[in-house]
Amino acid sequence: MKISVIIPAYTMDRWNMLVGAVKSCGEQTLKPDEIIVVIDYNEELRMKATLEIKGVRVVANQSTKGVSGARNTGVAVATGDIIACLDDDAYANADWLEHLTAVFTDPKIAGVGGWILPHWPQSKPQWFPETFYWILGCSYAGLPQSGEPIRNAIGANMAMRRRVFESVGGFTEGIGRLNVVPLGCEETELAIRYTANFPGERFVMARDAVVSQWVPNSRLTWHYFWSRCWSEGLSKAAVSHLVGSNRGLATERQHVTRAIPREFVQSLRLTIIHPRTAATRMALLVIGTACASAGFLWGRYVVPQTPVEFSPQDLSELSSTMRGEEGPLPPVRL
């Protein structure tokens, strides 16, 4: 079983984090067969990565600008049976790949999502609701336990069999993050698309496969919180446009009706001991839910999103283009 790790990158501002992400992949107890760094339309960054990061394959994004296009480019040149993804602002525990890929002994498992911990700039902010850690790109309260089915993984820490992409294509373009614009859900739509075509297969959780996500201070503001919730609603509208509301919002309905009320009650109990912290957390729970709902309604009914699916033929053509430009691409042994 050959493993390819794809790391998209787009800005020089994350250079040190990108180096750390690559380093963590090279120090795995289960070594990947190749690490592919995909530079998203930044020639300065591509040149620097090519010259200074050793033992990896650095390629330029040849698809649509944004994380979806960058990942599709990575998949197009990857040679592994398993395609793992890590973000450029995250780093993996040494046993990450070992735990992430262990589940693939079951042929019915198409993909897996690991656990993403926030790496705070200082101490953990007690006012930030854990059910909204997804705003930070991290795993959040309410997710299933290890081995249990999930609708989709989070893009910063996931792995899929190559056949997922060969069967239904790559990440849909038009809903993935574009530079600092906080859109998402491209991995959600791909997982739903695959399981709809192959209902006997599933995606599962692997909490022992841990990566840590750097959290800048800029993500710990009210403005980022509500705008990220709004953008998530827009992205969910785009996903629902493609797969229908039942599939596109099933996990969200469960989260809103179970996990968020549970944390609200927990916060309410803290009001006597930590009234300001509890009040802030409860306010964010309400505001976040309202903003995400409003974003969804806006994207669904006022300004419908028009994402573009990336078909197996598109992926095949991109792969041919990449190989034609760079010649044969044998695996890079670490």
Q: What is the pLDDT of residues 217-261, one digit of tens each?
A: 999 999 999 999 998 898 888 888 777 767 767 888 888 999 999
Query: What are the C-alpha distances in Å from 202 to residues 12, 45, 87, 191, 198?
Result: 37, 37, 23, 9, 8
Q: What is the pLDDT of residues 305-330, one digit of tens each?
A: 667 778 889 899 999 888 765 544 44
Specify the range with the lowest mean pLDDT, choosing from 133-142, 154-163, 266-275, 293-302: 293-302
Q: What is the pLDDT of residues 89-126, one digit of tens each?
A: 999 999 999 999 999 999 999 999 999 999 999 999 99
Write the CATH number for 156.
3.90.550.10
Type of residue numbered 12:
M
* Rounded CA separation 304/208 (Å): 38
* Rounded CA separation 231/182 (Å): 6
Q: What are the DSSP E strand ranges found in 50-156?
A: 57-60, 82-86, 90-92, 109-119, 149-150
* Rounded CA separation 152/293 (Å): 20
What pLDDT was estimated at residue 179? 46
Q: What is the pLDDT of residues 19-70, one digit of tens each?
A: 999 999 999 999 999 999 999 999 999 999 999 999 999 999 999 898 999 9
238's enclosing H/E stretch is: helix 222-243
What pLDDT was estimated at residue 183? 57
DSSP string, 246-283: HHHTHHHHHIIIIIHHHHHHHHHHTTTTSHHHHHHHHH
Query: Quick check: is 236 in a domain?
Result: no
Query: Quick check: is 289 in a domain?
Result: no
Query: Quick check: is 320 in a domain?
Result: yes
Query: Quick check: is 221 in a domain?
Result: no
The whole domain housing 118 covers: 3-216+306-326
What pLDDT was estimated at residue 46? 97
DSSP string, 126-190: TTS-GGGGGGGTS--TTPPPTTSEES---TTEEEEEHHHHHHH-SPPBTSS-BTTB----HHHHH
Query: Quick check: is 318 in a domain?
Result: yes
Query: Quick check: is 300 in a domain?
Result: no
| Count: domains in the chain | 1
Query: Quick check: is 135 in a domain?
Result: yes
Q: Give residue 147's region: left, alpha or beta (phi > 0; psi -120 to 50).
A: left
Q: What is the pLDDT of residues 136-158, one digit of tens each?
A: 999 999 999 999 999 999 999 99
pLDDT higher than 60, residue 181: no
Query: Quick check: is 283 in a domain?
Result: no
What pLDDT was estimated at residue 80? 96
Share of the chain above pLDDT 90, in %: 75
